[in-house]
């Protein structure tokens, strides 16, 4: 049976795999669930803010964003961060599907030199072949320059003429590029080559892949390896406690030199995390959207500030309030379980959640005013994609657990944005196949007689788990009860 990752027979799933995002039950993604705190970087929050603004302007929908992510090549999907996938999908939609974002503007912000017909090189010039620049690749490229000569120096043997660049022609773009024959010494390409020193190889290469070969680095006169820039050859080594901490100057004795602002900034830059694979693309996406006016800088700043409080345990305040109210008011609890929309409308919390135009009760039967065929068609034409909340109760007999195996769906309006572990491959793969093991990892050990009911949130339902009220809390008020509720308990990975 063919599978997406060439799994051995013992790992083959009983169903058909539909893409890299389809992680439910995927044994190759099993592993411990990393629940360490992740502080999102500025570019990640900017991407989230940008997509929120584009969605509000009806320039992209959740389904279009998901489609782009699901279309990613397995290697790209697996190596991309969560928001890196968002960036890849958004670029594909805005540049290819809708042409809302000109390709040239995106490439400008990626630092890609503009294509030109001007001839830069002549026979005899020493050139270096550029390496494939993965930071600008947001789709599988059409490359006609063989990878074995990336980074190798050669000599232009002939200018052939101008031809349509095949990398762009493959995507329907017509740009003329100078084409050269470049000669390489075989031993510079293959270190183990056993032929003659003069044996060569010639390759056809377009100008965009070439750059002038730089001069070899030379040591400064009078400076040898091991000499530091700030010490004379006769100066002693600085005290061990000073090494790699602060600049030192020898003047009969070692003196600490107060670091300059430039050196402080360079040190801070060294401590920054390395950019992830698609971070440059994400940053270029935001800059390009600003340049063409898909949204403005003021709106982006406001949305970034708004999202800053939407991450972490503290963002689940509305969910806590709903749970506490259900504990205190049996009538509200019953309505919440039967028809969450009506329950939240009753207490003025409906604006905190985006509902569909028709409510769904606990039996998943549709209700609402759109009863006639004509009314339904009219509502469908006007409606924007929305989601519906379903509240599920923890009982002595059933423990509920929520997951989204295809992406990261969860009730963000009530709980804030999902934590990294909820989006991780390990959680998405394991929760549907070995839920008890997952719960054990979260410190929950259930007796065998208790049913574990997993809810895979793959469509337009969002699930909120109503945890069991802790004993001995009968005298507590709403505020005190809400303080007891944890975000994990409202998704099933925690108990109170």
The catalytic residues are 404, 407-409
Helices 279-292 and 297-308 cross at an angle (nearest 10°) of 140
Q: Which of 322, 386, 317, 400 is nearest to 354 (CA)?
A: 386
Q: Give me the half-sphere count of Cα atoms (radius 13 Å) on the Cβ side of residue 237.
A: 6
**% helix / strand / coil in the chain, to the nearest 5?**
40, 15, 45
Q: Which helix (H) or strand (E) is 338 found in, with range?
A: helix 330-338
Rg of the chain (C-alpha set): 30
Q: Which of 269, 278, 262, 270 is nearest to 87 (CA)?
A: 278
Backbone dihedral region for residue 462 (phi beyond 0: left; psi -120 to 50: alpha; all else: beta):
beta
Kindly give the residue spans of alpha helices, DSSP state H, lying in 123-199: 166-169, 186-189
Q: Which of 343, 360, 353 is nearest to 410 (CA)?
A: 353
User: How many Å apart are CA 15 and CA 289, to the nearest integer?
Assistant: 40
User: How many Å apart are CA 443 and CA 493, to the nearest integer?
Assistant: 9
User: How many Å apart are CA 457 and CA 438, to the nearest integer?
Assistant: 17
User: How many Å apart are CA 418 and CA 427, to the nearest integer?
Assistant: 12
- DSSP-derived letter for residue 437 is H
- DSSP-derived letter for residue 101 is S
Burial (Cβ within 10 Å: 0-12, 13-18, ≥19) of residue 245 = exposed
37, 104 in Cβ contact below 8 A?
Answer: no
């Amino acid at each position: 049976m063919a599978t997406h990752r060439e799994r051995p027979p013992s790992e083959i799933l009983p169903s058909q795999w539909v893409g890299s995002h389809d992680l439910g039950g995927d044994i190759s993604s099993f592993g411990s669930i990393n629940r360490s705190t992740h502080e999102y970087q500025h570019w990640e929050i900017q991407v989230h803010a940008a997509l929120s603004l584009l969605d509000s302007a009806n320039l992209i929908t959740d389904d279009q964003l998901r489609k782009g992510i699901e279309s990613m090549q397995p290697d790209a999907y697996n190596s991309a961060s969560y928001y890196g996938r968002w960036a890849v999908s958004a670029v594909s939609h805005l540049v290819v599907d809708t042409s809302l974002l000109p390709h040239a503007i995106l490439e400008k912000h990626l630092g890609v030199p503009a294509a030109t017909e001007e001839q830069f090189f002549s026979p005899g010039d020493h050139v270096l072949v550029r390496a494939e620049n993965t930071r600008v690749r947001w789709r599988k490229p059409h490359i006609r320059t063989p990878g074995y000569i990336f980074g190798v120096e050669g000599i232009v043997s002939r200018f052939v003429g101008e031809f349509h660049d095949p990398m762009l022609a493959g995507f329907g773009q017509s740009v003329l590029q100078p084409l050269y024959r470049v000669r390489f010494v075989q031993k510079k390409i293959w270190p183990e080559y056993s032929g003659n020193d003069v044996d060569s190889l010639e390759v056809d290469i377009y100008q965009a892949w070439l750059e002038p070969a730089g001069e070899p680095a030379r040591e400064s006169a009078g400076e040898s390896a091991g000499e530091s820039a700030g010490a004379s050859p006769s100066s002693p080594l600085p005290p061990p406690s000073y090494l790699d901490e602060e600049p030192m100057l020898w003047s009969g004795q070692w003196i600490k030199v107060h670091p300059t602002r430039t050196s402080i900034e360079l040190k801070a830059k060294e401590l920054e995390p390395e950019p992830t694979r698609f971070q440059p693309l994400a940053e270029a996406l935001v800059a390009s959207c600003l340049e063409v006016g898909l949204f403005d800088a003021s709106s982006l700043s406001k949305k970034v500030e708004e999202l800053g409080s939407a991450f972490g345990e503290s963002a689940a305040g509305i969910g806590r309030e709903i749970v506490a109210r259900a504990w205190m008011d049996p009538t509200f609890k019953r309505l919440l379980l039967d028809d969450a929309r009506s329950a939240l409308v009753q207490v003025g919390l409906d604006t905190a959640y985006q509902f569909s135009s028709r409510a769904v009760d606990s039996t998943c039967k549709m209700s609402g005013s759109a009863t006639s065929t004509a009314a339904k068609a009219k509502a469908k034409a006007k409606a924007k994609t929305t989601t519906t909340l379903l509240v599920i109760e923890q009982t002595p007999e059933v423990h509920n657990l929520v997951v989204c195996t295809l992406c990261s769906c969860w009730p963000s309006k009530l709980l804030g944005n999902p934590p990294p572990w909820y989006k991780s491959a390990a959680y998405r793969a394991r929760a549907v196949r070995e839920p008890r093991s997952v719960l054990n990892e979260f410190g929950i050990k259930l007796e065998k007689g208790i049913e574990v009911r997993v809810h895979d949130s793959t469509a337009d339902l969002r699930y909120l788990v109503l945890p069991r009220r802790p004993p001995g809390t009968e005298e507590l008020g709403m505020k005190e009860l809400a303080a007891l509720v944890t975000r994990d308990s409202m998704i099933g990975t925690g108990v109170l």
